[in-house]
Structure 1
Amino acid sequence: MADVRTTGTGLLTREYRLLRERARSGWSWIHQIYQEFQNEHASITAAAIALFGLLSLFPLVLLAIAGASYALGSAEEAIRQIEMVMGRVLVADAARAFTSIIEGVLDTRGAAGIIGLLGFLWAASRVFNIMIETFNMAWDADESRGFIKRNLLAIGLVLLVFVFGIISFLTPLAAGLLARYSDRVTRWLGVPINVSGTWPILVDIGAYAATLAMFFILYKVVPSRRVHWHSALAGAVVAAVLWELAKYLFRLYVVNFASYNEVYGALAGVIVLILWLYYSAVILMLGAITSSVHSARVFGDRPDHPRRRGYDERGEQEA
């Protein structure tokens, strides 16, 4: 009986020690990511990304409306679809405020398309040039790509985000079309389509998968050094989860607690949009730093940087 008790006590002791070591390891991960975030002044960088992101967002929507109005045959329908997409991320007031700003240029769709394309390429390329610099700082990497290659990369990233934006635009549109023609789709497939139950879940999964893929590509190709795909995926998972969580919490906060209308009046929607862009940029930087820390701790990729000499080989902070 004593042997059984001793064995049971030993197992509990080992499990407790293992759990404690895992908790310490998890805390050291969080602590190191936090320290890197502070050392790289990531919050300031996020503000710069949000600024140029705001400048590129309006031309992007102008460009999207110019193209969608031809595809849908109605500029008003294009605006309605874009407002519906933005409503999935922002509160309704912010989405309406954003789309109302660009309604005045719809009578000149050709000019809107040209202005939108040029403005989007300039501002968005600035976003990604800042992103390249800050990701290199997070990875302690020197930029080895020439001027032409770097700017081609920035333009390629612009197109990448534009493609994922189109996917985000088409996903709820496809959901609406499926709901409208569900009977025809059921007859064609021979399988009943549960629009009210299954399809919204699939739409959310598809949106998350697109977000995850976008973050993964950014963390894999932007730094001017070889990035393990495991590390890029780790950062992408963190960023995608935080972004989906931030969407829910941000909407909850704005709807229930914030009083922007009382303070900012007609500008409340724009202020909410700016805050959302800033939060998104912070999440982008958190994912990049998570990817860098993962590579350092898991693969022993130790950049020789003074700010990281305070960590031992396991990534634990030295005394």
Structure 2
Amino acid sequence: MAEATTEDTMSYARRGRSATRPREIPGKGWRDVLVRVKNELSEDKLTMVAAGVAFYALLALFPALTALVFIYGLVANPADVQQQLNTLSGIIPQEAQSLLNAQLSSITAQSPSALGFGVLGSILFALWGATKGMKTLMEALNVVYNEEEERGFLRLNGTALVLTLGAVLLGVLAIGLVVVLPALLGNLGLGESVRSWISLLRWPLLALFAMAGLAGVYRYGPSRSQPQWHWVNWGAVLATVLWVIASFGFSFYVSHFGSYNETYGSLGAVVIFLMWLFITAFIVLLGAELNAEMEHQTQVDTTEGEPQPMGQRRAYVADTVGGSPGHEASERSATRAQYDRAEQRAEAKSSRQSQPTRRETPQKPSAEAYFSTHTSRQPSASAQFNLEQERADEYLSRLGSVAKRHPVPTVLIGIGLTWFWLSHHRPTDMKS
């Protein structure tokens, strides 16, 4: 028994079960992490989730651009935003860049130059429209981290609004680095070599801003206890690097080999833009998967605050230990066996339902059940009428419950049926 315990302890150490930081995970532990990431891509249906995020990102992008131009226009020339977009040629596909340029031209023409209540209201309205894309990304992060949304309406929307505002402010800062900084350097009278070095350093700074923004989304996006910063930085770095490489590759493919315009015609630019958003969303969620499985590899508390025992950290990947290929049984701790969020919710719900809330009284059997158990007796006309009435009442009650759960589709279907009936029963037909 002592030999087995020693062997298990050595196996845990070799796989990083006591790692306090990602860099303390050894090679075998990283193999476990990467294998689980590969498996989670299919189990979480990450491509389908990324497609949903890309769709809502497309809807939220133009309100976000409006907020970006309005905020930047309060301190500088809003036309600089288009100049910043032009510097990204080669990373963003040309067709997507044309779409954004057209939208930015329309927004820039309406951009205010002074702060007022109307401008502030326009900015808040645009930010609120952009939060839908952020909330969709937060829901996708819940899928990645195996969490259920438990935040209230105010906290959920407030978090999404703050994250959206942070993304817009990072965009304003990026525009200042790319467009305003070279102009300032020219006015300072610095040497050519100094200006060249500073101009080159702005691109690594942009990458650092992107990594910081992604780390903030990974930390505050999911509905769970906040992880420590060093457990979200690795995924942010991976996502940033992969996004730059994938964007260059996709832009090169579209400009040299793609045939989207021939296939989709005038919609080719929209399809290309949506594909680029899909690639972006997939890479962002891939970075989140890496962060989640890194936390899943260690038994040490990875959340902020005082260390808590497993099962009390309010985060699935921090409260459980991920399995190793071929070692799932030996790697499962006793605490993990006692803690599974999904099973606990199901057990709690079933126990609440099993508790008697009121004295149950015997119910009268329905007419349909009565006649099914007494097949030898034929129902009378009144009994048959009662049976049909009971079926109709049950059908109407089901329709009522569906209408309560889905009010908007029900109203739309009702309007459609009313229009169909009126279009096929004209007043002349009704009079005749």
Match of 2:43 among 36, 39, 43: 39
8 Å CA contact 1:161, 1:214 repeated in 2: yes
Amino acid at match of 1:54: L
| 1:297-308 matched pairs, under 5 angstroms | 297-299=297-299
Distance 1:316 1:233 in 2: 29
Indicate the RMSD between aligned Cα atoms, in angstroms.
3.4
Distance change in 2, residues 1:93/1:126 (3 Å): closer
8 Å CA contact 1:239, 1:283 repeated in 2: yes
Distance 1:295 1:43 in 2: 22
Query: What's the % identity of the aligned pairs?
Result: 22
| 1:1-319 matched pairs, under 5 angstroms | 25-69=29-73, 71-72=75-76, 77-78=79-80, 80-87=82-89, 89-104=91-106, 107-109=109-111, 117-122=124-129, 124-178=130-184, 181=186, 184-186=188-190, 193-196=193-196, 198-223=197-222, 224-299=224-299, 312=323, 318=328
Distance 2:229 2:293 in 1: 13
Displacement of 1:84: 1.9
3-state SS of paired residue (1:87): coil
Amino acid at match of 1:174: V
Displacement of 1:135: 1.8
8 Å CA contact 2:81, 2:175 repeated in 1: no
Distance change in 2, residues 1:228/1:309 (3 Å): closer
Q: Tell me the residue number matched to 1:5.
A: none
8 Å CA contact 2:134, 2:160 repeated in 1: yes
Displacement of 1:149: 1.2
**Rg (Cα) greater in structure:** 2
Distance 2:59 2:98 in 1: 18
Displacement of 1:56: 1.4
Distance 1:247 1:268 in 2: 17
Displacement of 1:115: 6.0
Displacement of 1:25: 4.9
Displacement of 1:280: 0.8
Displacement of 1:285: 0.7
Q: Whose helix proportion is higher, 1 or 2?
A: 1
CA displacement, residues 261-316 of structure 1 (integer Å, 9 cap, x when unaligned)? 333344333322211111111011111111110001134578898xx99953x576
8 Å CA contact 2:91, 2:244 repeated in 1: no
Distance 1:93 1:316 in 2: 48
Distance 1:165 1:120 in 2: 13
Q: Structure 1: 5+ residue runs without aligned partners?
A: 1-21
Displacement of 1:139: 2.0
Distance change in 2, residues 1:85/1:296 (3 Å): same
Displacement of 1:49: 1.2
In the superposition, the TM-score normalised over structure 2's length comes to 0.58
Distance 1:143 1:80 in 2: 38
Distance 1:316 1:119 in 2: 51
Amino acid at match of 1:205: P
Distance 2:94 2:43 in 1: 37
Distance 1:232 1:133 in 2: 17
Q: Tell me the residue number matched to 1:16.
A: none
8 Å CA contact 1:164, 1:210 repeated in 2: yes
Displacement of 1:82: 4.4
8 Å CA contact 1:59, 1:117 repeated in 2: no
Q: Between Structure 1 and Structure 2, how many residues are aligned?
A: 287
In the superposition, the TM-score normalised over structure 1's length comes to 0.76
Amino acid at match of 1:251: S
Amino acid at match of 2:177: T
Displacement of 1:46: 1.1
3-state SS of paired residue (2:147): coil
CA displacement, residues 206-246 of structure 1 (integer Å, 9 cap, x when unaligned)? 01100110111111122222313222112212212211222
Q: Structure 2: 5+ residue runs without aligned partners?
A: 1-25, 113-117, 302-309, 330-432
Distance 1:112 1:268 in 2: 35
Distance 1:97 1:264 in 2: 16
Displacement of 1:205: 0.6
Amino acid at match of 2:36: Q
Amino acid at match of 1:121: W
